Structure formats: C-alpha cells, structure tokens
C-alpha cells in the first residue's frame, strides 16, 4: 500500500472509522447508503455523517483519476436526492470530496464549489503506511474581462500606421495594468473629414486600483487611458465614449469598421468569431448611459437571466417606482414563461442630453424607453410584452429649456463631458412634467396592442384597464391615457423652445467633432 494506489473499497471503510482526519467532532451515520429517486435516478453515497453542529454531511471518496472525473457530478446528484428524500434544509447540509488524485477533479470541484457554498475538498495521501488528509482549495478563478467605457480615438491620414500603433499602445497599456484592449480600425468614405482613418481603442477591465481623478464609471480604466498621450504616430487624438462610437458607426456618422485588433483576453477569443459582438458590446454598454442596449435571455438560464434582470432594472435609476413595477412584472414573467426567450431593448441617454443635442425632428419618440418581448423559444412568435416610456402631464410648460437645464446641472458644458447623473435627470424630469409609465402589451395581427397600464397599489402590481382609466379606445396610446400624454405631445408643445435651446448650446459649445472636419 506504500505506493498510494488503494482501492476505494478499502479506503472508504478506513475513512469512515477515522472521520476525525477530516475534522474533529464528525460522527458516522452510515456507509454505502443506497439512494433511489422516484424519477429514476439512483446511486450510492460512500459515507453519510454528522458534523459537530448536527449538519448532515455527504462524503464522496475517490482513489483514481478515472473515477475522480465523475466525482463532482455524482456528489451533486446524490446530495440532491438525499436532501429531497429527507427534506433537509440546504443550510443544514454539507458535501465533502476526498480523493487521492486531484488532477482531473480539481477544475470540476472548483466549478461545483462556486455554485454551492458549503462544499469542501480534501487530498488523501498515504506515506509510510499512514494516511494524512489535507484541505484542497478551489482553483483561483480569474475575473471576467469586459469592455469598459474608457475609449480613445486615434486619427490618421495614413492607414498603414494603425497596426503598429496598436501594438505600441497595447504594450504601454499593459505596463500600466490594462493588458486587455480592442482596437477598431475605422474608415470614413462618406463625409469630408481631415483624417479619414481611425484606430478606436477600448480598454477591457483593468487589473489595478484607480488613482487620480474620480470618474463616475470605470475609474481605473479612464485613469490609465488618460496617460497614453505619447508613443504613437497618430495625427490627432480624441476622447471617445460608447455613445460616440454608436454615432460614428451610424449612417449619420459616416464611419464603418474594417477590422478589430485584439490584445490580452480578447486576443484569446479570436477563434470564437466575436468581432461583431465586441463592437456591439462597446456601443450597447449596460447601465444608465445606454443608448441602444439589446439583450436576449431566458429564465431557463438562471445566471444569465439574473444578470439580464439586474441590468434591465438598473437602466431606470430616475424612477424607483417604475423600476419596482418592472421588477414585479419580470418576476411574474419568470414564473409563467420559464422556458421562453425574453428580448430586452433599452434606450436611455437620459433627458437632458437629448434635449440639448437633438433637434425636435430627431425626437420622434420617447428618448428614454424600455421594451421587453416574450417570445416562444421554438417558433419565435411573440407572446407578451412590456413597454416603458416617458409621458407628459400635459400642463407643465417650460418656455426656457436652457434655464431648466442650468437649474438642474448648473454647468451643462462641464456636466456633458461625463455620464448623466440619475439625480440630475430625475430633477429635470420633474421640472418638465415628465414621468416614466409602464404598459403591458400583447401581440395582435402583426403589431403590439396595449392592454393595461401597470401600477403599484400597496406594494402589489396592479393592471389598470381602460374602464379604470376612462379611456374608450384600447391600444391607442398616442392619446391621453390616465391623465398623461405621450412624449410626442411634449415635443410638439416645446418645439420652438427646443430649437432655441439647440441654438444656445451650439453658440457656446466647441464640438468635439470639429477637428475631424476640413476647414
């Protein structure tokens, strides 16, 4: 036995008699416990014990690499069967893996431990005919790397310089703690610009703490990117943002992407064919600054669905009440349509920036909106939906929109260089008589029909129908409903004020796009 190759049938009884090797106070309940599940699954638990606190402990024993590969799956299956049969609360249940070989088991154990908080691993080693058992920790799990809001635009008259510059910039960023980046090679063939070629650099998650100025989001990445001012051959340099990238790649912007260069973690994803997804992720960033965030998920994928739900609710910081309405609605959808596909579309640049920077013609609908569609996973047919949009009280009229903005943010020109602040946006909405309203919609003859207005009543979600709201024509949300008017009514009433505001802003702002234009 000195070589350590011990059959499980010999080691398991030994361990059952010496549970103190795992931890003091552990007592044996039984060994080789056979389990049969009414649904057909069956198996056998090596050891069942109680710890010193009275918790039930399932111990799985493995003594070879071959059997170790199956251990994580088996202990999950067996523990669920045992918990279900004995009706044991999860807080009173533990799992332990004891193995002589961990090469094949360690990764599976790490993944299992990440999902189940009370699981432990132990390495059993035999030396000089004596067993020792030591704790095995899960493997270090590296944090996921995602694109951040730290963007810079390097502009060129000569496109050939961009590949070499990306290598130089990437190396410099890596030394400062930001080894993960993408560089989008862009070209403008539509509008007349001074430098028609661009290297659009976007930082991934950095690996160091921030220093310097406190940015509202991704502070470490902004701090690092601000230091990359030399060491490249660009003709000009501009600060970018998710919103700006979206504009540049739009029809109005006139730019298009020709290639995506990648470094760090993004370079390792080359074989996944994710260039288009990376560009979309850079534009459609989750959070308050979204301009066109789109996400598909399903309650059948719990982790992804939980993240989708969190991102969706986080897009409405200006309206806690509406956010709670959407939360209750999503919870109901999760229960009813657990296997369906949920498509979420968020457009949320706030209200101040659209009023200041867009013409009335460009504001044909609510600039802040959330749309959710529930789709049959097999057919793709629409089943249910939700829409959240701004509505106007019909009474509040602001003749001087610039005064409203200045009362809210004091210095718009300094404020506009950063991301919208939810409190500023909420204050502006109140001054303008605008509120987010939520409506439940249903498919009807190739279109969506508004069925109910959603509200909270004593904390419960309530569906107000047309009789409750004294509204005679179902589905016609373009008219007054429940004492409010759609955003289009606000725009039409403030058309002249919006035109004056744009002229006032233009007279005081040095456009960031100006260096791109030929004189």
Q: Is 362 within the bounds of a domain?
A: yes
Is pTM beyond 0.95 here?
A: no
User: Which of 216, 21, 197 is CA-nearest to residue 123?
Assistant: 21
Residue 105 phi, psi dihedral angles, 5° rounding: -90, -30
Same domain? 318 vs 278: no
Distance in angstroms (rounded) separating the CA atoms of residues 19 and 94: 15
Number of domain units in the chain? 3
Q: What is the pLDDT of residues 11-36, one digit of tens each?
A: 889 999 999 999 888 999 999 888 77
Tens-place pLDDT, residues 183-201: 999 998 776 788 999 999 9
The low-confidence residues of the chain, meaning pLDDT below 50, are 1-4, 208-217, 271-273, 286-291, 417-418, 468-480, 509-519
Backbone angles phi, psi at 334, to 5 degrees: -60, -35
Of 247, 282, 317, the domain-final residue: 282
The token pair that represents 114 in the structure block:
């990440």
How many Å apart are CA 53 and CA 64, to the nearest integer?
A: 31
Same domain, 312 and 239: no
Are 341 and 436 in a shared domain? yes
Q: What pLDDT, on the 0 to 100 scale, is given for residue 289?
A: 40
Cβ contacts of 288 within 8 Å, gap of 6 or more:
314, 315, 317, 348, 350, 419, 420, 422
Question: Do 391 and 244 lie in a common domain?
Answer: no
Task: Find the DSSP H helices in 189-340.
Answer: 219-225, 242-248, 275-283, 302-314, 320-336
Whether 208 and 354 share a structural domain: no
346 & 472 share domain:
yes
Distance CA 33, CA 422 (A): 57
Beta bridge partners of 93: 56
Which domain CATH number covers 116?
Answer: 3.40.1350.10
Q: Is residue 306 part of a domain?
A: yes
Residue 519 falls inside a structural domain: no
Residue 419's domain comprises 293-506
What per-residue confidence (pLDDT) applies to 416? 54
For residue 346, being part of any structural domain is answered with yes
Angle, helix 65-86 to helix 106-115, in steps of 10 degrees? 20
Q: Which two tokens stand for residue 80?
A: 């669920």
One domain, residues 323 and 468: yes
Same domain, 259 and 341: no
Same domain? For 29 and 122 the reply is yes
Strand partners, 240: 151
Q: Three-state secondary structure along 199-212?
A: EEEEEECCCCCCCC
Residue 426 is predicted with a pLDDT of 85
How many other CB atoms are found less than 10 A from the CB of residue 490?
A: 24
CA-to-CA dists, residue 61 to 11, 68, 195, 368, angstroms: 8, 9, 66, 57
Same domain assignment for residues 375 and 443: yes
Of the three residues 101, 136, 171, the one that is the final residue of a domain is 136
Residues 257 and 173 grouped into a single domain: yes
Same domain, 167 and 276: yes
Last residue of a domain, one of 117, 136, 155: 136
């Amino acid at each position: 036995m000195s070589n350590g190759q011990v059959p499980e049938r010999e080691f398991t009884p030994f361990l059952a008699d010496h549970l103190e090797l795992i931890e003091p106070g552990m007592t044996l309940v039984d060994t080789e416990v056979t389990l049969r599940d009414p649904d057909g699954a069956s198996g056998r638990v090596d050891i069942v014990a109680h710890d010193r606190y009275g918790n039930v402990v399932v111990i799985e024993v493995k003594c070879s690499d071959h059997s170790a590969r199956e251990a994580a799956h088996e202990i999950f299956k067996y523990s669920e069967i045992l918990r279900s049969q004995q009706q044991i609360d999860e807080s009173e249940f533990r799992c332990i893996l004891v193995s002589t070989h961990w090469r094949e088991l360690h990764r599976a154990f790490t993944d299992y431990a990440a999902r189940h908080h009370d699981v432990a691993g132990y390495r059993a080693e035999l030396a000089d005919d004596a067993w020792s058992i030591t704790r095995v920790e899960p493997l270090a799990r590296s944090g996921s790397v995602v694109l951040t809001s730290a963007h810079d635009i390097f502009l060129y008259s000569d496109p050939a310089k961009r590949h070499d510059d990306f290598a130089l910039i990437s190396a410099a960023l890596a030394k400062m703690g930001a080894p993960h980046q993408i560089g989008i090679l862009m070209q403008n063939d539509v509008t007349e610009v001074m430098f028609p070629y661009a290297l659009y650099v976007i930082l991934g998650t950095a690996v160091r703490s921030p220093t310097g100025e406190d940015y509202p989001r991704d502070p470490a990445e902004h701090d690092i990117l601000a230091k990359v001012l030399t060491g490249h051959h660009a003709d000009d340099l501009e600060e970018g943002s998710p919103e700006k990238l979206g504009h540049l790649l739009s029809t109005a912007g006139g730019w298009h992407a020709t290639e995506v260069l990648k470094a760090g973690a993004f370079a390792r994803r080359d074989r996944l064919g994710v260039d288009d997804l990376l560009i979309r992720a850079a534009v459609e960033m989750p959070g308050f600054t979204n301009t066109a965030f789109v996400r598909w998920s399903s309650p059948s994928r719990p982790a992804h669905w939980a993240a989708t739900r969190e991102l969706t609710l986080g897009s409405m910081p200006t309206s806690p009440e509406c956010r709670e309405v959407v939360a209750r609605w999503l919870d109901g959808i999760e229960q009813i349509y657990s296997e369906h596909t949920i498509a979420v579309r968020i457009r949320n640049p706030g209200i101040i920036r659209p009023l200041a920077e867009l013409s009335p013609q460009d504001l044909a609908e609510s600039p802040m909106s959330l749309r959710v569609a529930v789709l049959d996973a097999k057919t793709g047919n629409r089943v249910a939906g939700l829409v959240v949009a701004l509505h106007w009280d019909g009474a509040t009229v602001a003749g001087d929109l610039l005064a409203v903005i200045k009362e809210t943010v004091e210095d718009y020109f300094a404020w506009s260089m950063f991301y919208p602040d939810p409190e500023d946006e909420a204050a502006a909405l109140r001054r303008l008589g605008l509120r987010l309203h939520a409506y439940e919609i249903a498919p009807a003859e190739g279109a969506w029909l508004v069925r109910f207005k959603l509200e909270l009543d004593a904390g419960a979600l309530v569906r107000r129908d047309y009789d409750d709201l004294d509204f005679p024509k179902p589905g016609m949300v373009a008219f007054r409903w429940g004492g409010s008017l759609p955003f289009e009514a606000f725009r039409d009433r403030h058309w002249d004020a919006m035109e004056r505001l744009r002229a006032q802003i233009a007279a005081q702002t040095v456009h960031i796009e100006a260096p791109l234009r030929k004189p």
